Amino acid sequence: MNRITVFCGSSAGTDDHYMEQAKALGTTLAREGIDVVYGGANVGLMGALADGALEANGKVIGVLPDFLRSKEIAHQGLKELIIVETMHQRKTKMNDLCDGVIALPGGFGTLEEFFEMLTWGQLGLHQKPIGILNTNGFYDPLLALMQRMVDDGFLKESNRAMVLVSASITDLLEQMRNYTPPQTGKWITKGNL
């Protein structure tokens, strides 16, 4: 993996550990020679991620819709900031630039970006590994919901298994390096649960 897109909050969250993990992820990716692609802001987890990578001499590429430039405050330390028009163009560009995706804690935007990339993978539009860095068990309720989707016949186990999860940066990256995409379609009938 040469580049990883990271989706995360533009807020810091209520626990300092969220910011620490975001910065640690940026630092780790930079030290492993993996470029960071992210939303381009200098605030919240987004800013901590970028700062961690930049302080470790990593390459960071920001992708920011023009209308968010003033709201999210574009990171001034980036050598490459790509300005796009829409949120959809942002996700498309971030997908085009990366070899894998990691979600950190965040709000609606983080989930929307994560699920669109996950859906594209489920539909076979890409075969990139998609991981969750489950800091402080933040994503435990979402993971339980995904299992409920499997249990109730709305999601194949092979598609649920596309979501790689760990609270450890090192372990998550190892899972991503060893990822094999599912070889079956997403559609479920009563005969192929």
* pLDDT tens per residue across span 106-153: 999 999 999 999 999 999 899 999 999 999 999 999 999 999 999 999
Determine the pLDDT at residue 188. 57
Rounded mean pLDDT of 91-98?
A: 94
pLDDT-derived band of residue 75, with 50, 70 and 90 as boundaries? confident
pLDDT-derived band of residue 29, with 50, 70 and 90 as boundaries? very high
Determine the pLDDT at residue 22. 98
Determine the pLDDT at residue 186. 60
The CATH number of 3-192 is 3.40.50.450
Closest Cα partner for 121 from 91, 145, 150, 141? Answer: 91
Closest Cα partner for 133 from 2, 34, 3, 9? Answer: 9
pLDDT at 193 over 60: no
CA distance 6 to 169: 13
Determine the pLDDT at residue 183. 79
Instruction: Work out the mean pLDDT of the chain and round it to a whole number.
Output: 92
**Residue ranges per structural domain of the chain:** 3-192
pLDDT at 74 over 90: no
CB 149 within 8 A of CB 115: no
Report the C-alpha dihedral over residues 162, 138, 22, 129, rounded to 10 degrees: 0
- Mind listing the pLDDT tens digit for each residue in 160-190? 999 999 999 999 999 999 999 887 666 555 5
Stated length of the chain: 193
Give the other-Cβ count within 10 Å of 177's Cβ.
Answer: 10
